[in-house]
Amino acid sequence: MAEVEQKKQTHKEERQKYTLNKLKGLGQEIIEDVEKTKVPSIRVPSRGTGNIVYDDAKRYYVLGDRFGHRSLGNVKQIRKLGQMVYVGNFCKDLVAREKTATIREMYYVSEGWGISFKTQQESNIVGEDLEVTLGVTREELGLMPEEDGASVYGDLTLIDEGTEINAAKMGKSGYTISPTIDQVELMDCNVDKVLAVETMGMFHRLVQENAHKRFNCLIVGLKGQAARATRRFIKRLNEEKGLPVYICNDGDPWGFHIAQVIISGSAKLAHVNHQLATPDAKFIGVTASDIINYDLPTDKLKDVDVMRLKELSKDPRYKTDFWQTEIKKMLKIGKKAEQQSFSKYGLEYVVDTYFPAKFEEMENQA
């Protein structure tokens, strides 16, 4: 155990040093340009739609090889370059002092820089630009999301800040997945699968019904669109512990999208999908076929739902026969349904009937 902790600490220190050197190097480039009487500029990988490519072999979005330059010689880029330098300096201080700040805190701190952002979204984008330019993660830069993490419940032992924790002994809310999940050691895992569910309502239902024992699984509550830390945690369980991952979301285009971001990554985060996507994860959420076969309570598709479904049908992440069939069928019936709609048959139905049928279906397809 001591040896494992020592290796982990050494790796953490190496990554910290690497990140600090990358940040210093960015500033040094500008200094050297000035010393050579050259107009300072920074080479930034393009994150435009034309440079985001779906990689069929990797099964997730990646960045292409296009780059742009932010130069003080371009009036339109001066403000953006200045913001990037200030954010870089802010992160350098965080990394050097081993501190963190939320992206919301950075936004307010920037008010004192004299080169403030118009909105937090603008500061978030500059943070992502720095991330992709340096090839390090936002978390390694000391920047953390504002939102709370999702939760995991089940027989998984972790070591967090030197403390041994079992995710089935943390109360009914389970263990909260923190933004620094890569610093948490995944130890004993006495389960054979991961079941991730979109809503915390379903998470708590599964915990109450002892689904973790019934299916010998870890239950992960996504809290809607899964945060980066949640996606990273799921990927680690899949790769480090060899656990198959199953995702159950609402039967609508937004639930489909939430699941697919976990499976194949997002276009927006193409530069870090290699750390977040779990291509082998399977969708076992509510489908149009389920709506028909289980005669579920439904809502009528709105115009925005129809438009989104048509967009998904053209997205390379949904090109398989399964997705194409379910999208077309949902458009045909014009209906959508939530996970909780199975409660029509009783609170226990989803554990007693629905999930056993879904898992059996997955096994037959394997």
In 37-79, which ranges are E strands? 41-45, 52-55, 60-63, 67-71
Q: Which residue among 108, 153, 246, 354 is the active-site one?
A: 108
By CB atoms closer than 10 A (0-12, 13-18, 19+), residue 162 is exposed
Long-range pairs, 314-321, Cβ under 8 A, ≥24: 315/260, 316/54, 316/56, 317/54, 317/260, 317/263, 317/264, 318/256, 318/260
Q: In Å, what is the CA distance from 324 to each residue of 83, 147, 252, 319, 320? A: 43, 33, 14, 6, 6
Is 354 a residue of the active site? no
Please count the other Cβ atoms lying within 10 Å of the Cβ belonging to residue 241: 16
Alpha helices, DSSP H, located in 53-175: 75-96, 103-109, 120-134
How far apart (Å, rounded) are the C-alpha atoms in residues 130 and 300?
A: 43
Residues 6+ apart with CB under 8 A from 150: 176, 177, 220, 221, 222, 223, 226, 227, 229, 230
> Residue 93: what are its φ and ψ, rounded to 5°?
-65, -40
Tell me the DSSP string of 301-355.
Answer: PPHHHHHHHHHHHTSGGG-SHHHHHHHHHHHHHTEEB-GGGGGGG-TTHIIIIIH
How far apart (Å, rounded) are the C-alpha atoms in residues 227 and 195?
A: 16
Active site residues: 108
